[in-house]
Structure 1
Amino acid sequence: QLRNPANVTMHRRHTTLREKGRRQAVRGPAYMFNERGSALTAEEERFLDAAEYGNIPVVRKMLEESKTLNFNCVDYMGQNALQLAVGNEHLEVTELLLKKDGLARIGDGLLLAISKGYVRIVEAILAHPAFGGGLRLALSTLEQEMRDDDFYAYDEDGTRFSHDITPIVLAAHCQEYEIVHILLTKGARIERPHDYFCKCSECVEKQKKDSFSHSRSRMNAYKALASAAYLSLSSEDPVLTALELSNELARLANIETEFKVRCPIGFSSFFSFFILY
């Protein structure tokens, strides 16, 4: 059966996810209960504390001089040094960490910076070679799960974001105009979801595998497309685009019940923006 290319791909996907699950098993709250997970060394504890509190000299010295430091270690909440530094808006520490080859969870760091509106940290992370060519900006965490790396945390403990979220979708949700502009200049765009009745292999597979996640991803995409930040910066005629989206969502509200309550929200804020400014 594995001779079928589709079966080979699915088998590889399941195998990869299973291995990632094993690798992530000692992360997050497991550190409080798992003997393996609780074995942070004194050096690692000191390093994570320094990153969390923005102790630049200590972080720099440990990164440059220590031969035994695992700079990707995580605390009992599943956060690594990069996530701790970004979450506490320590730009200098973030820049020091980004210089290290093999740094994990860069994608989670970017999403965290976007959610908090830390523009300078967003710019620093986007300057990392991992974002060369803009490919990473176009893919969600779910779409990148087949990559054998730790660019995103694949467990629920390490990330607080939905797995269908991309950086520009999150920036649009948060109405972060400056960050949306930065991402647009990097080539990031929000793809409009396929028609509800689309029968392409991708849509059929997503609907069959997890209809809830598929519906949620459509909601997140339309919410981002309808945001004032994205509409005003990405469209030559934002008002016309908003009206077209409004008509599309009104049609979808008769098909997908999830859109009945949510579809007017983005447009009301968008038109308020034009009335005020």
Structure 2
Amino acid sequence: MSRAIQRLMKDYRKAEKLVGRSSNEPFTDFANAASLSTQTYAQQMAQLRRDPELSQDEKKYLVAVERGDMATTRRYLDVSSTTPSTLTNNDTSIAPININCLDPLGRSSLLIAIEYENIEMIELLLNYNIDTGEALLHAIDEEFVEAVELLLHHEDLRQQQQKQAKSNNIEEDKSKCQNNTTINDKSNQLFTLAQVALGKEKKDDVQQSSQDVSNKLKTAWSYFHTSKTNLPSKQADGGVENIITTTTDDNEVSEQLNLSTSRSYTPDITPVVLAAHRDNYEIVKILLERGEKVTEPHDVRCDCEKCLVYNKEDSLRHSRSRINAYKALSSPCYISLSS
């Protein structure tokens, strides 16, 4: 049995676990050529695919977004974002819905609005803080420049609000500590106990950090000692620090390899990569002005920690990510704008 068929069987079992299918059901023998017909494959995929359970109001909500009915969409958004006591008499017949619900094709209301290029509907949905998800990638895929600008602006505003909220919380905590005289009173017994506890925590943190550094150095030296003959020239020049950074990237690699299969785009498809694939001058220019760029892949024979893990876990995905990166780097628009 070839490796491709073995990997297909492995992915099939993963899909069974994701949808909660019973393991007692017979498994299709992919090694048999007769079982690879189009009808059998369609039947297997139909069994694995489950339509989302939508309420009647959620179906009407998605239909209103698809038809561009602003008034009906706003009513559903208002009902779902307010408490029942503040609803008017006309809205009592509408039950609160999940504004981030998906249709049978896996599209949210925002993706539907992007597909139909309804910029007014997109603005309305973003005003109610709907989940954007992969909306930016879908807008780039549709080459909808206005939606791309709107989504980027919305993301900037959300990040500013988060930073402002964090700073406000810090200022409130400081003001509470300053106004609390019992805590600031050094003659109070609680103050001395708190001071002793803080001193112990600082000592423990220093000891823990020193142990972590020593463990990292031991790990790096053992890795350097066992594989120093196979190190590339860049790592050999960089010393132990580069090896430490490569060993600490294992969590990032494992997170990317274990991403949900519900994603429409693979993790290596960033907004600038997708825009370069579409060779859209305006979108590529917008993203480059924001500091985005395509990362050049490592050498094909690179034996750094990341490349070794990617090749071991999923060599096909690793090869596809390299192809996507080189395809983006060879885009005429990207070359002209980045040079």
Residue from 141, 144, 158 that aligns with 1:118: 144
> CA contact under 8 A between 2:52 and 2:102: conserved in structure 1?
no
- Give me the TM-score of the superposition, normalised by structure 2: 0.51
- Map 1:254-273 onto structure 2 (within 5 A): none
Unaligned residue ranges in structure 2 (runs of 5+)? 1-13, 21-44, 83-95, 161-251
1:180 aligns with 2:208: no
1:100 aligns with 2:204: no
SS at match of 1:208: helix
**Which segment drifts farther, 53-62 or 175-184?**
53-62
- Map 1:218-229 onto structure 2 (within 5 A): 218-229=322-333
- Map 1:38-187 onto structure 2 (within 5 A): 38-66=52-80, 68-101=96-129, 103-104=130-131, 106-129=132-155, 132=159, 146=255, 154-156=260-262, 159=264, 161-187=265-291
Q: How many residues align?
A: 193
SS at match of 1:197: coil
> CA contact under 8 A between 1:114 and 1:179: conserved in structure 2?
yes
SS at match of 2:310: helix
Aligned to 2:297: 193
- Deviations, residues 243-264 of structure 1 (Å, cap 9, x unaligned): xxxxxxxxxxxxxxxxxxxxxx
Distance apart, 1:163 and its partner CA: 3.6
Distance apart, 1:129 and its partner CA: 2.9
> CA contact under 8 A between 1:111 and 1:167: conserved in structure 2?
yes
1:203 aligns with 2:324: no
Give RMSD over aligned pairs. Answer: 3.2
Q: 1:90 to 1:32 in 2, by over 3 A?
A: farther
The AA in structure 2 aligned to 1:155 is T
The AA in structure 1 aligned to 2:151 is I
Unaligned residue ranges in structure 1 (runs of 5+)? 1-16, 24-28, 134-142, 148-152, 236-277
Q: With CA pairs under 8 Å and 6+ residues apart, which has the higher RCO, 1 or 2?
A: 1
- Map 1:2-41 onto structure 2 (within 5 A): 21=18, 34=50, 37-41=51-55
SS at match of 1:40: coil
Report the Cα distance in structure 2 between the residues aligned to 1:58 and 1:145, rounded to whole angstroms. 44
SS at match of 1:61: helix
